[in-house]
Amino acid sequence: MKKYILSLLLGTLSILLHAQGVGSWKAYPAYQIATKNIPIGNKVYSLCNGNLLSYNTEDTEVICYDKINQLSDSKIKYVEYNPTADRLILVYDNCNIDLLDRDDNVLNLAQYKNVTTPDKNINYITIDGKYAYLATNSSLIILDMQAGVFAKTYELEKKVLCCATDETHIYVSTSTGTYKGDKSLNLQDKSNWTFVTSQQMTDIFYLDHSFFVYIHNNGLFKADENMALTRINSDKYTFRCLQNGHLILGNENKIVIYESDASSRTIRQSNPFKYLTLHKGTFWASCGIKGLQAYKENTTTQQLEPSQGAIQPNSPAYDNFYYMKFTGERLLVAGGSLNYYNTQYEGTAMYYENDTWTNFEYGDSISKKTGMSYINLTTIAQDPQDADHHFVSSARQGLYEFRKGKFIKNHNYRNSSLHTILPGSSHPQDYVSCSGLTFDAEGNLWMLNNEVDTIFKILKPNGQWVRLYYNEIEGAPTFDFMMFDRNGRIWANSRRQTNRGIFCLDYNGTLEKRSDDKHILRSEIINQDGIKYTPDEFLCMTEDRNGQIWIGTNNGPFVITYPDAFFQNNFTFEQIKIAREDGSNLADYLLNNIIINTIAVDGGNRKWLGTAGNGVYLVSPDGQEMIHHFTEDNSPLISNNVSSIAINGRTGEVMIGTDKGLVSYMSDATEPAYELDKENIYAYPNPVQPDYNGPIVVKGLTADCEVKVVSTTGQLIYSGTSNGGIFTWNGRNLQGKRVSSGIYNILTNTSEGNDCVVTKIAVIK
């Protein structure tokens, strides 16, 4: 038995090295944009894109922290270090708080996050002894970082902008001026706070028994114990840091370093710094898109010079995942939004393949070439003839073209058939709305040009443009996504406002011939029971493995069961009914009135539905069974606001894009194999060790494959069908008991019963 088990183990070793556990989660945070750093001992902690990493200056190890591995939440707003408690305090944008020590132990303090008080934003943190002072919109909260408890709360009933302490007093600058409180008094009594000045301050620093005050757009001041101000200079400082006995202030032209009230020096140089610290003779600079970098001061030139390369792990450029789509095993990503009222997402175009992120050229580099803001990218498409050639649409700046990730052209109202919404504007180039990129079988690139008379535009491989006009969608402002179904019809969702609905176009594969086109826009949904809906938002659509079209709206999901009938006058949508289990013979509609932002179909034809505020639902192929409902509270999902879902058909990895970034879940369904092939079927883990309690997975199966687990004596242990190309077994028999040690045969048959393949698996109990 032991020899046989060993041979099985050796035979599947290469598979096991690459297999990821079904049911496991993984995070993909962005670590490109460095904004703050804190050096402690031989580590430098760096805040990047609201995510945390540490760099070990001795062995160069980089540790990336995230919700799945160490932390309690996502999107860090503030990070500070308390040397007395020897802990970092991490404040998340939802007011959750973690204390992180240098051994990477985390203590979560969620009490303030869970308080029902409205407008509880944390605005500032000051460290004094073992305490952290948290300035909020109505109070000052004192946190004992050594004990890991909230010590006191001073309800000031006014917004606290910043705070500081000296040996005897606490100072708070608020929306109504600046106050001080004697630490020896009961400061929970508001009358014990003394008004000292009407001046509102941005920063108060206490260094070497002296106060330094910075006021936004007004410069740096010295202050006495009553906050009487004496101007030092009128400079604007974009970064301000008090750490390790140094007050460092700077802007793009100079750096000022104070070690005491009487000792300062200035380094004059151009710099890209967002934040700067000094530790053991090394300056650590957070350089925005250039990452975390170490600098040394050249004593001859008195300039800071890089002393090593940037610490910038491979990751997404930004945590923006508005649109995702797999092309083969390459995940294409565009991060922006068509919801362009007061929303600006940095231009994000990238792809993920072979565990590596490739970020396209971005930021000021493209803006300088086009003269336009590079923001709000909506979709991305890869040239089917050239994997290095991509197009990216924009909510307002037309169509961008890239080769090998480098910008090569902007297609706009001057050089293409794309039209501007406001041709009479002084900046017509800023009103070219483009979305919905998709290639057809002939290599033509289709796109949606919103809020103009002709919405559908096509760029042919030879560079020629085709325009398709349909009167019912003229001027529609928010056409979003577009897809071809298996019969070559075009489906597009007009998201909201006027002309909203689902638009279907059957052009019979003839771009140049218009007389045989069939097209219709449906803004009203009538379900099978005759109930009418007029959704405010038609948010998404996808075709399942049976050719049915699933639609996501703010009223929940609907199904176009027979797409061929969509043009008929008596057409109705299906709204999935779930029977109640109370004997009433009544039923409820599936996820009725839940906002469905995105729908993806896995290899088992199951539907993954991403919502606005309700996390992710996984339902059976017909929608009748709720398999999973993942939220922030019951899973590592980092946000309940899900914008996009894409599934790797080969591995089953479900990529979930949220407003806080990207996570994935390894599902138990993959694309089915075309035929059963013994060489491609394998089971893992194999052997199954005594301490393993997860699912045992068989991969490489055909759709709806019949699977039986049988003992060597022919006894049936377990049976079921595959989800796409995967079958899972819990290691238990039909009575629910864990099976004994031994070799078990996995018998696999196609759904038609035509083929049979046997795989063996060893169990050690």
The answer to whether the beta carbons of residues 707 and 727 sit under 8 Å apart is: yes
Residue reference for tokens 């298996």: 486
CB atoms within 10 A of CB 498: 13
Residue 385 has pLDDT above 50, yes or no: yes
Q: What is the pLDDT of residues 487-543, one digit of tens each?
A: 999 999 999 999 999 999 999 999 988 889 999 999 999 999 999 999 999 999 999
Q: What is the pLDDT of residues 429-439, one digit of tens each?
A: 999 999 999 99
Main-chain phi, psi angles of 431, to 5 degrees: -135, 40
Helices then strands (H, E): number in the chain?
4, 66
CA distance 55 to 76: 18
Angle at 687 between CA 684 and CA 690, to 5 degrees: 110
- What pLDDT score does 340 carry? 65
564: its two tokens: 């061929």
Share above pLDDT 90 across residues of the chain, in percent, rounded to a whole number: 89
Looking at every residue in the chain, the average pLDDT score rounds to 94
Residue 189 has pLDDT above 80, yes or no: yes
CA distance 205 to 212: 5
- What pLDDT score does 574 carry? 98
- Beta strands 254-260; 706-711: pairing state: unpaired
Concatenated DSSP letters for 318-377? SS--SEEEEETTEEEEEE--S--SS---B-EEEEEETTEEEEPS-THHHHHHHSS--B-E
Residue 377 has pLDDT above 50, yes or no: yes
- The answer to whether the pTM exceeds 0.85 is yes
* Range 728-739 average pLDDT: 93
Residue 52 has pLDDT above 70, yes or no: yes
665: its two tokens: 């879940």
Sign (positive or negative) of CA dihedral 635, 638, 644, 646: negative
| Residues present in the chain in total | 765
CA distance 250 to 264: 13
Residue 10 has pLDDT above 80, yes or no: no
- What pLDDT score does 343 carry? 80
Residue 583 has pLDDT above 90, yes or no: no
The answer to whether the beta carbons of residues 221 and 212 sit under 8 Å apart is: yes
Q: Which residues contact 448 (CB under 8 A, 6 or more apart)?
A: 434, 435, 436, 455, 456, 457, 479, 480, 482, 492
Residue 14 has pLDDT above 50, yes or no: no
- What pLDDT score does 56 carry? 97
- What pLDDT score does 20 carry? 62
- Give the single-character DSSP code of 485: -
In whole angstroms, how far apart are CA 570 and each of 201, 471, 528, 573? Answer: 67, 22, 11, 10
* Range 740-762 average pLDDT: 89
- What pLDDT score does 117 carry? 83
- What pLDDT score does 322 carry? 96
Residue 15 has pLDDT above 50, yes or no: no
Q: What is the pLDDT of residues 249-288, one digit of tens each?
A: 999 999 999 987 768 899 999 999 999 999 999 999 999 9
The DSSP element (H or E) to which 113 belongs, if any, is helix 111-114
Q: Which residues contact 671 (CB under 8 A, 6 or more apart)?
A: 603, 649, 650, 724, 725
CA distance 249 to 274: 10
CA distance 646 to 652: 10
- What pLDDT score does 1 carry? 33
* Range 744-754 average pLDDT: 86
CA distance 423 to 432: 10
The answer to whether the beta carbons of residues 223 and 212 sit under 8 Å apart is: yes
**SS3 (DSSP) at 551:** strand
Share above pLDDT 70 across residues of the chain, in percent, rounded to a whole number: 97
pLDDT confidence band for 9 (50 / 70 / 90): very low
Q: Which residues contact 474 (CB under 8 A, 6 or more apart)?
A: 453, 454, 455, 499
Residue reference for tokens 């580590």: 43
